[in-house]
Each structure stands twice: as structure tokens, then as C-alpha cells.
Structure 1
Amino acid sequence: MKNVTISVAAAEFGRDMEAGYRTIANLVATARERGSQLLVLPEACLGGYLPSLGGGDESDEAKARRLRSLPPALELDGPELRRVIDMAGDLVITLGFCEADGDVRYNTAVTLSGDGILGSYRKVHQPLGENLCYAAGDTYRAFDTPVGRMGMQICYDKAFPEAARLLALDGAEIVTSLSAWPTSRTATVENLEDDRWKQRFDIFDRARAVENQIVWVAANQAGTFGSLRFVCSAKIVGPGGEILATTGVEPGLATATVDVAEVLGLARGGGMYNLRDRRPDLYHDVIAEFGVVGQPGIPNEVLETVNA
């Protein structure tokens, strides 16, 4: 496909599934009006996210309360996702939900169309006690879709360059990054533009795009849920790190039309093709277990401080 029109949402989703379906239907309708072939929705669309992030010094009472307030766990082949498949038609949609695999829960993203599920991904990197609610995934894999070869990530994954690099090396041209990314829990500010976690969110999005020379599409939750306030900032980033469209700090739908083959060719054809010019023969220490005293390149006193 020469030109791909991409829409990405900053939208509010909570526990009310019917309200969530109405929001999805409205976003699908708007994306269709704009001629979109790909619509990217946030993490935890169906049933909402966790009401708080805990762990560490969290009290037993707070932990019990949080575990009683989990989102509904849905199966990949269940009727809940079938409703979205039926909405999709020829539109490719990426969205997040809590997946049930027997008694185990995963924070999951799927890409689907009217033909069914095209790819699924279970979140690997878990922040701030999320592991108390979800099991971790263990795979990054790209997959083919009508809009090109894609990969998926969820929220905290974007903080890890290795995760995006694995997808790029597997041929992903477009990576969708779904989030329920909140404001900073400390040093809070009134203006979302000044929030340090919002700024971090934006830096990661642009860095992952430019270092892999891919199209990066970042969705996020909006509004509030439990103790969390979300930063919005849904965006489409080109392979040079340029922001092609964004919602800013407001809910909405950002849309851009991209000739994916052309922009990737321009980014990679000017003599600096990052994937080609890697030196993996020198990177072996990067994948060593962090925290081993005596690890090359990391002073022992630093490791001992981190592990204290």
C-alpha cells in the first residue's frame, strides 16, 4: 500500500464495557471519515486499566483493594473482541485489554480487522507492581497486515530500546505503542505540558522512531481512572523523529497520511541506515544480567548502590 492514513487516539476508557464500545465505535467512525486504514487505540480499552500502581511499600490493605478492582479478563477468541472485529471491516485496529489464559492474566494488545485477529502481544516490561496483577509476556514479533509489517508494544516497553530494536530487526515498518501513561506521582504540576512523565513519554516516542528509522504510533489513555491522571499525547512519529500529528495534552484523534515505503527509504537511504550499520559483535555486554559485580563497563560501586 503506497499511502497509509493512520489515526491514533487519546481517549478515556474505564470499567464500563458498553461505554468503551461506544467510544470505540465513535473513533472508528471518525477514522473512516478521515480515510484511515489504521486506527490505534490505547492500552486497556476493554475494561480499563488498573486503578493505581503499587508495589514496594504498598500496604496489605491497599494491595487487597487493588486486586479486587482488576479489569475483566477476556479471551482472544471471546465475544468481546468479536464485537470489535465486527466493527472493523477493512479498517485495521490495534487496541489493548486484559487477556485471560486459563487463570493467568496478561496485559495484551491485538491488531485485528474484519478478517479476525492479525497479531497479538503480551506486555513484557512491568512497572510499579504491575506484576502483582499480570503475568509478563516473553516475545517480540512483527507480523504482516494490509497496511504493512507491524509490531506492537505496551506502555513501559517504550523505555527499553532493545524492545523496539527487536521489532525493527524482524521487519516492522510500523510499531504501535499503546499506553495508559500517567502523570508523575511526585512533583505534580497543573499544566500537563509541564509534567515530567509526559515529557519522558514524548522523548521515548521520538527516540524509538529515529533510532530504528520506523513509523511509530503512540496511543494513550485520557482523563483519569482511580488515582491516575493520563497525559494524552497520542502521536504519529516519522522515521526521522518528526511528529507528524499529535493530540497534545487533550483527548482526540490525531491523523496523518504516510507513504511508509518512501519515508523509510529516505531515512535509511542517506548513508546512515541504523539497522545495517550496527556492530552487534561489540554489544555482548548489553545483554548481560545487570547487577553482577565485576560486569565490564559498570563500576562495582554503582552496581552495589543499585542493588542495596
Structure 2
Amino acid sequence: MTTLASVAANFTRDLEQNYALIASLVHEARERGVDFMVLPEAAIGGYLSSLGNHGDTVKTTARSLPPAISLDGPEIARVQQIIGDLVIAIGFCELAEDGETRYNAAAVLDGNRIYGTYRKVHQPLGEGMSYSAGSDYDVFDTPVGRVGLQICYDKAFPEAARIMALKGAAIIASLSAWPAARTATAENLQDDRWTYRFNLFDSARALDNQVFWMASNQSGTFGSLRYVGNAKVVDPGGNVLATTLLGSGMAVAEVDIDGTFRAMRAGMFHLRDRRPDVYGALTQTDTTDTAKWQELAHA
């Protein structure tokens, strides 16, 4: 059996606060026998303070941007010192080798090893003004199985999860800083339309690909953003095994990964039953159609 934990918590620009919060979560995870814990997007240094045309940009401000972190820098080393032999996924702003380019990134690691890293591919609203975009999805062999990483808006794109499932991911960790709707926000954020989408995507992507899906998220507020929490563990049938709902906390579920796959994939196995020969349009890049989509998006 494997114990999975997805976290909803509030991470800010205060790195010492971040480290203390991670240490507290690690302590709880150890008490609950957790093997793999997923922390939110931007858990080291916090996310952007706003989005949209008025959002944080490299050109207009440096003060509100998350700290840029090198993989071999002291911040990652500090996290590794805290977690010891616990395997985690964690989000941060990665500083590229050129010393200038910034990525919204995630890593899966323990105290001794970084098993893999990911740079966010799909960028919402004004995020592209603060980060460069990644260009691939990979999966990584870890002590808890083969793990894929994606960040926030990626979950809206079925292709992102599918390519990792085809590469053998047993678990997909989806790290988010997912806020409530910016307009017509529901009084109860659990009823907000963006909360609904967040939860729907989680169950759909797990079921689409028949994988274990671990969704973490920021909670509380930061800048102008109100986060919706709802960290969860979802099984390959799309069933939510544990959730934090709006609050901060840890959604924990004990699962039999191999046994679940044998049972759920014995009959209908979505990856096996695909028809790639009729999916050609998915990878075509017609500039005329792209221009039409952009016009509709800005109409």
C-alpha cells in the first residue's frame, strides 16, 4: 500500500515562513505514514500577486515577483534538508542556466535526489509576462512509482495529462495556485464557478487516463487572488478519495496502486483503446485557425 497526501496551504514571499510551513507539513505527513506528498505551485516564494493585463510583469516591477531559484541553489537544498527521506513534489520559480530566464516550475525530490523537474507549458492570462513557457512533459521514476508533473492551467488541456499517461505515469501531480473567479465571485467559494472547474478537471483527467491524480493548491489569499484550496487525491476511476475542500490542510489516502490498475484497466482500458489514426488534427498547427481562436478570445 502507498499513502498519498495532497496539500492546500498558503505560501508567501517570506521564505522562512515557507520553510516552517513545509516542516510542519512534513511532521504531519510522517505521523500519518505518508509516502508521497504534493505541495502547491509556488510553494517556495509564493505566486504572482495578480493576473491579467494589470498583473505582475518583469518589465514593470521586480518587487512583487517570486524569488528566482536555481535547482542547485540554497533554497532547494534547504527543502531537501527538511524533508529527509519523504518524497515530495513542490513548485517554485526556476532561474534558468542563463541567469535571466524565469520559469514557473516544479520538482519531485527527496532529501538526497531530484528525480525530475518540469517547466509550466500552458500560461493563463498575463502569466507569460512574468515567466517563459516550458516545452515538454516527462515522467520520472521515483520510490513511489512513475510520476508526472503539471502545473495549474495545464489541467485544462487533456493532451498534457495524456502524454504523461502514455509515458507510463501511475501518478500525476497537479500543483496549482488556482484562484476564485475574478468577476461574479460566489459568496461561498466552494460554489464558485472556478472552484467547480478546478474539481471537474481533476476527476476528468484522472478518469481520462486511469491514473492516480494528486491535486494541490494554494489556500487563503495573496495579493488580489483568493485561492480555492480543494487539494485532493483522485483514483483512476475519477473518484475523490480525500479532499481539503476550501480550507488549508492535507488530503490523505492509502491506495493500492498496482491492484487498482489491475482492477480498473482489466476491462475498459482507455490508453489501449485509443484510435491515434483518427486524431491527426490534434497536432496540426493551422495558423489561420489559430488566428480565428485568438480573435474569439479577445472579442
TM-score (norm 1): 0.92
2:266 is equivalent to residue 275 of structure 1: no
Deviation at 1:73, TM superposition (A): 0.2
Q: 1:99, 1:63 → 2: CA distance? A: 14
Moved over 2 A (4+): 61-68, 289-293, 300-308
Whether the 8 Å contact between 1:50 and 1:66 is mirrored in structure 2 is no
Structure-to-structure mapping, 1:176-255, within 5 angstroms? 176-255=173-252
Whether the 8 Å contact between 1:37 and 1:90 is mirrored in structure 2 is no
Whether the 8 Å contact between 1:173 and 1:215 is mirrored in structure 2 is yes
2:8 alignment partner in structure 1: 10
Structure 1 residues 66 and 241: CA distance shift in structure 2, 3 A: farther
Deviation at 1:64, TM superposition (A): 5.8
> Which deviates more, 19-28 or 67-76?
67-76
Secondary structure of 2:199 counterpart: helix
Deviations 1:37-87 (A, max 9, x none): 1011000011100000023xx49x998655541010010011110111112
2:36 alignment partner in structure 1: 38
1:124 alignment partner in structure 2: 121
Structure-to-structure mapping, 1:284-295, within 5 angstroms? 284-289=280-285, 292-293=288-289
Instruction: Give unmatched runs, 5+ long, in structure 1.
Output: none
2:150 is equivalent to residue 153 of structure 1: yes
Count of equivalent residues: 297
Deviations 1:163-188 (A, max 9, x none): 00000000000000000000001111
Deviation at 1:157, TM superposition (A): 0.3
TM-score (norm 2): 0.94
Deviations 1:130-151 (A, max 9, x none): 0100000001001100000000
Structure 1 residues 205 and 245: CA distance shift in structure 2, 3 A: same
Whether the 8 Å contact between 2:103 and 2:132 is mirrored in structure 1 is yes
Give the RMSD, CA atoms, in angstroms. 2.0
Structure 1 residues 305 and 45: CA distance shift in structure 2, 3 A: closer
> Which deviates more, 22-31 or 257-266?
257-266
Whether the 8 Å contact between 1:122 and 1:136 is mirrored in structure 2 is yes
Q: Identity across aligned pairs (percent)? A: 56
Structure 1 residues 51 and 66: CA distance shift in structure 2, 3 A: farther
Deviation at 1:190, TM superposition (A): 1.6
What amino acid sits opposite 1:33 in the alignment? Answer: E
> Which deviates more, 212-221 or 68-77?
68-77
Q: 2:223, 2:196 → 1: CA distance? A: 22
Pick the aligned partner of 1:108 from 105, 110, 113.
105
What amino acid sits opposite 1:280 in the alignment? Answer: P
Q: 1:224, 1:212 → 2: CA distance? A: 32
Whether the 8 Å contact between 1:142 and 1:150 is mirrored in structure 2 is yes
